[in-house]
Structure 1
Amino acid sequence: MSPPHNLLLFGATGAIGSYILDAILSKRAQFDRIAIFTSARTVETKASLVENLKKQNVEIIVGSVEDEEAVKAAYTGIDTVVSALGRNTLAQQIPLIRLAAASKDVKLFLPSEYGTDIAYGPASANEKPHQLKLKVRAVLEDEISRDDLDYAYVVTGPFAEMYLHFAPGIEAAGGWDVKARKSVLLGAKGEDRVSLTTMKDVGTLVLSALLTASPETLNRPLCVNSFTTTPAEIQAEFERQTTGAPWTDVSYTPLERLREVEKKAWDDGLGPATAVTLRRIWTEGGTLYAERANGIIGEPAVMTLEQVVANEVKRVASL
């Protein structure tokens, strides 16, 4: 397919969608149309944001993703759809994909894949947090003809900013508290490697995937990231940028202990259970790939560990 010219975004004002939209708008001149499909409630509650987007020549299409006719109308003249729907609404992408495949205009669909690789290994198919994304992939890969619709999965691994924070009420699942100079490192010695992507870089990487769309980048996962590090390296960077000396409250959660915490979180029906499962997957190496795909989408500039830690230190200082 030719490079995308007319984009429609779902979830564009959400937690990660806003970063994707910002990145796309940074290259506004390279696209003919940029539209977002959003709810009447969002237009009401985020009125100033919506007005600002209009000033940047963003089309605001108001409707419900469950309204088939509204979605069909929104697809008119659109060649590329980017979804940033949240974890709890991922299944809503399935009818959106089917309508895109039936559209005479839409040629490319990027589903909301930002996060953990859901096909990293054989065990991935059984992980609870992966189930909705797996259903979405099954539709794209097994049901939809490539003559009707192409796709790309932008797989980023964990968001760096969220990885730094403790899961609510479950400190054993790891995190850093800059104010208290307290941390819990995952792994027996904090030396298990993990690849992280900042939320800003998610936008950067999605934009690059769009601008470099080609047979090499389509109909496959694009496993990308900002950098690969370890909890111990993150700890050292926090110490360097704060006290200049070791923090006094540093502990570790070995993998076996993390599995116990995960099981209890699910057994007790705790909200952060999904977050604990994901952290266990990451600690097992589920973010590491033989080769990352940054290069085939143009090797866009991404953030460093030093920058991420500096932002977190600055954020805490401003509270």
Structure 2
Amino acid sequence: MATTKSKVLVVGGTGYMGRRIVKASLAAGHPTYVLQRPAPEIGLDIEKLQMLFSFKKQGAHLVEGSFSDFHSLVDAVKLVDVVICTMSGTHIRSHNIMLQLKLVEAIKEAGNVKRFLPSEFGMDVARMGNALEPGRVPFDDKMKVRKAIEDANIPFTYVCGIGFAAYHAGNLCQMGTLVPPRDKVLMYGDGDRKVILMDEDDIATYAIKTIDDPRTFNKTLHLRPLECIVSQRQLVEIWESLVGKKLEKVTLSKEDFLVSMKDMDYANQVGAGHFHDMYYEGCLTNFEIGENEEEASKLYPEVKYTRMHEFLNIYV
């Protein structure tokens, strides 16, 4: 292990995962830099500006840079050893895919980065070639980023293999809500497909662990802590135990789920496709970790990650 903490640049630091990565990097003692867009691009987004200033108060360095000014991006990258991209993948096809490819070019141009973590932190895109359309689209796009990274010989770690607990566990895997039902729950098939759901802060903690670890160099890190591997049925049972009552369970077959997608708009079809792949196909757990891959909880047993009963307890 390295004795000197790497300097880290977080791109997308005010985003959903970005703010957690910044927090985890600072907590681990890394000199942490956050890319800040110049004033004209920030505009009147007061919440993001205040978040940036809060990072600064916590010890982070704000570095001005813009994707519309390639040289500023290269200059920002030259300040650090590690770059972590956390830009949202929600609209990656229309916009963020191009930005992330531009970031790869900046890292290549700078020539000093010893590790790059691209914006993933979800399903393993390399295993999603048979994903349901149009949910497959963002996976294909992220594979373009991986190809660009590897073609440029940029050292990398891909952190993936989970579902965000706030989007899947907190609602008992229900679409269209972020809080758990208290009377009736929709079950996907028999509800027994295993998924991996993790507190987003824990994902960030594991990600930061990798950046100075030679064991994760040019590898994929899968997040599979034992007590985060659950089925929907087990998740419902945990919730029932916490609230002291049984929920009515309504079964939704795979066929009926697919029919229900036809009336959705494109964005909702993408999200529903991911639910299909997770809860009907078991895409998070239906494979063994292979060559050039590692499992986080085995590498870092010291991490005290959030168990699903602990996570759900905040909703009681």
* Same fold per superposition (TM over 0.5): yes
CA contact under 8 A between 1:81 and 1:109: conserved in structure 2? yes
How much does 1:241 deviate? 0.7
The alignment-based identity, stated in percent, is 20
TM-score using structure 1 length? 0.83
Correspondences of 1:157-196 after superposition (within 5 Å)? 157-164=162-169, 173=175, 178=180, 180-186=182-188, 188-196=189-197
Structure 1 residues 116-138: Cα deviation after superposition (integer angstroms, max 9, x where no partner): 11122652597223122111011
What letter corresponds to residue 71 of structure 1 in structure 2? Answer: L
Range with bigger deviation, 174-183 or 82-91: 174-183
Query: 3-state DSSP class of the match of 2:185?
Result: strand
2:110 counterpart of 1:103: yes
Q: Does structure 2 retain, via aligned residues, the 8 Å contact 1:174–1:253?
A: no
Describe the shift of the 1:95–1:176 C-alpha distance in structure 2 as closer, same or farther (beyond 3 A).
Answer: closer
Counterpart of 2:203? 202
SS in 2 for 1:281: helix
Contact 1:175 1:183 (C-alpha < 8 Å) held by counterparts:
no
Deviations 1:179-218 (A, max 9, x none): 64331122x221111111221111111111124x21x312
Query: How far did residue 75 of structure 1 move?
Result: 1.5
Say whether the 8 Å CA contact 1:7–1:82 is kept in structure 2. Answer: yes
Distance 1:144 1:104, change over 3 A: closer
Tell me the amino acid that sits aligned with residue 276 of structure 1. A
1:290 alignment counterpart: 288
Q: State TM-score, norm by structure 2.
A: 0.84
Q: What are structure 2's unaligned runs of at least 5 residues?
A: none
Q: Is the Cα–Cα contact under 8 Å of residues 171 and 181 in structure 2 kept in the other structure?
A: no
Q: Deviations over 1:10-43 (max 9, x none)?
A: 0111111111111111122xx2x31000223187
| 3-state SS, counterpart of residue 201 of structure 1 | helix
Mean CA deviation greater in 224-233 or 113-122: 113-122
Q: Do residues 144 (structure 1) and 144 (structure 2) align?
A: no
- Structure 1 pair 17–66 and aligned structure 2 pair: CA distance change class (3 A): same
**1: CA distance, partners of 2:6 / 2:313:** 36
**SS in structure 1 at match of 2:35:** strand
Q: Is the 8 A contact 1:114 1:154 kept in 2?
A: yes
- Counterpart code for 1:254: S
TM-superposed deviation, 1:256:
2.5
Q: 1:85 to 1:135 in 2, by over 3 A?
A: same
Greater shift, 65-74 or 41-50, is seen at 41-50
Number of paired residues?
295
Alignment of 1:237-252 (within 5 A): 237-242=238-243, 244-247=244-247, 249-252=248-251
CA spacing shift, 1:53–1:175, aligned 2, 3 Å = closer
| Pairwise CA RMSD | 2.7
